[in-house]
Structure 1
Amino acid sequence: MADPVGPTGTDAQRIDVHQHVIPPDRARAITARAAAVAWPAPAWDQASALAMMDRRSITTGVLSYAAPLAGPDDPAGAREVARGVNEFTAELVKNRPDRFGHFAALPLPDVDGALAEAAHALDELQADGVMVLSNIHGRYLGDPAFEPLWAELDARSAVVLVHPTAPSGAPLPEIPPPLADFPYDTTRTALHLTMRGVPRRYPRMRMILPHAGGFLPYAATRFALAARLPDGAAPGAPSGTPEELLADLRRFYFDTALSAGPSTLPSLLAFAEPEHILYGSDFPMLPEDWGIGFDTALDEYAHWEPGRLHAVNRGNAELLIPRLAHAPVP
C-alpha cells in the first residue's frame, strides 16, 4: 500500500541530497561544459533555488558543485577553485541552515590537496560531507593513490557524494553523456571501489551513488560473479563469495534523481538496503519539468510499503546527516 501522502503533504517535505550550486564566478564554465555535451545550460541563484524547493516540497537541499575544478595539469588551480566554491556554499548554509546543506568539493587527483580541503571544509566550514567525481581525468576511485583520503574520511565517518562525470573516450553519437555515459560511469566507479575492497575496509565512510547507482542495482547479481573468477583474473578483489560481494555493493547509498521510472524504481527497491535510498532532484542540471515528472512518479508509485516513501523523501537523510533532522521545516 502506498504512503497516504503526496507532494504537498506534510510528510512529503523532502531532504534533497543531490542539489547543485553554481557560484557566480563559475557560471560561464558550467555553461560551456553543458554546451560541450549538448545539454540544456543550467542557471542558478539562491532565490530560484528556494522557489524551486518550495514548489517541490523540498525542505533542505544539500548543495554540491558537480564539475571538474581545473585541468589535469593544474593542481594549484583546482585547490583555488575548490576553496572558493566551498566558502561560497558554506556562507549560503550559514545564512539559511534550515534550507541548505553542503557537500564540499575536493581537488582530486591531488590527494594532499584533497586531504587539506576536506579538513578545512569539515572542521572550519561545517560541511555535511564531501563530493568527488566518479573519475578524475580518467582515474577511477578505487585507485590505490586515493587510499589516504578514504582512510581519513572513514576516520571521520564522513558522507561522500560520488557524482558522475563523463568517462574517457568518445560519447555515444547523438546521445548526451548525462543520459547514458553518466550512469555508466557511476556503475564503473562503484565496481572499481568494490573490487578494490574500499567499502569493506572503510565501513564508516558512507558513499552516495546518484541516479539509483547507474546500472548497479539492475546488474548487481551479474557483477557479483566476479567472486567466482579464477585467481588472478580480478587482481585486488576482496576475497569471499558472490553473496559477500553483493553485501559490499549494498553498502552504498543511492539517490532517486532521474530514477523513479517504472522499471528503475522496482530494481532499486529490490536491491538497496531500505535505509540507503535518498531523495535527489539534480536541480538545476535538468529542466524542472523533467524533475517534477520524476517527483510525481516517486510519490505515485503504487507499491510503497508503509512508511517507506517518507523514509526515502526525508527519514533516511535525517539518519545519514543528523543535523538535518533538527532543522526547522519552513
Structure 2
Amino acid sequence: MAPPTSRRSGFSKRAQYGTFLGYVAAFAGMLAGALVLVVAFMNRDAFSGLRGAAGDVVAPAGRTMAAGRASAHDLGAVLSGYLTSGASHARMQRELELARVRLAEARALEDENRHLRALLALREVPDRPIAFARMIASSASSTRRFATISAGAGQGIAVGMPVRTPRGLVGRVLEVSRTTARVLLVTDPESLVPVQRARDGVAALAQGHGDGTLQLRLINLGINPIKPGDVFVTSGSGGLYAPGTAVAVVIEVTRDGAIARVLGDPATVDYVAIYPVFAQAAAMPEALTAPPVAEPAALPRRKPGAKAATAGAAD
C-alpha cells in the first residue's frame, strides 16, 4: 500500500506549538511592517531618529572605505606621474627651447621693423574719420550702384575719400556738393578695389557685379587657394583705401577667383563714416592728429583784374 501524500507533524505537542507560534510570529511581523510603512507614509519624519542612528553606526565603515578609495586613486596617480614624468619633462624642455627661439626671432623682427621705419620716416596713420553722415538715397533699379550721403564740401568731404560702415567698406566719394556727396559703391561694375585675404595676404582685385556681390580675381594665376568663408580686406595698394578694412566674404569659388558677399552693405545701415584718402593721410599725419579748429569761411578768390572790372561796372 502506497504511503499517504501528506504527513502530519506528529503527535508531539511541542512540535505543534512550535509550528503555531511560527505562523503567529510571521503574521505579527507582516502586521508590524505594514504598520511601519503606513506610519512612514503618513509622517516622513517619524523614523528620522532611527535613520540618523543607523547612519551614525555605519559612518565609520563608510569613512574607512572612502579613505581607501582615495588612497588607491592617489597611489595610481603617483605611479602614473612617476612613469610619465621623464617624457613630460623632456617635452616641456623642447617646448621651452622652441619658445626661446621664437621669442628671439620676434625680437629681431621688431628691431628690424623699427630700423626700417626710422630709415623711411614712416608714421602711423590715425584711423580718424573726417565726418559722419546719413545714407539718404541709393540706386535700386539701375545697373549702376550709387548712394547719396548727407555730408559734402561744407564738412570737409572731397572726391576719392573712402566711405565705411562698422562692418566694412561701402565705396568712395565720386561727386561732392555743398551739403551732399555721391558715393560710388563697391558693388558698382566700375569699382575696382585691391584686396587681400585676411589670414595670409593672397592678393586679388574686387570688382562689382551690380547685383550686390563682388567678383574676386586673383592677381597671381595658378591653383586657386580661395575657399568659401574667406574674408578679404583692403590691401592699401593704390593709396586710396587704408589697409585692413573689411570688404567681403567668399560665398562661391570660381576658376580664377571667387564670388564674394559685401560686408558693408549700405542697405543695412543708416549712418556711414568718411575717412581721408590713405596716401594723403600718410603724407600729412600731423594735420589729421591735430584737434579741429573752427575757422571762418574763406572768401571766394578773385581773378586778376576782377577789382577793376567791378569798379568799372559800378561807374
- TM-score over 0.5 (shorter chain): no
Q: TM-score range by the shorter chain?
A: under 0.3
**What TM-score comes out, normalization by structure 1 length?**
0.20
Q: Would you tell me which structure has more strand in proportion to its own residues?
A: 2
Q: Would you tell me which structure has more helix in proportion to its own residues?
A: 1
Q: Which has the higher contact order (CA 8 A, sep 6+)?
A: 1
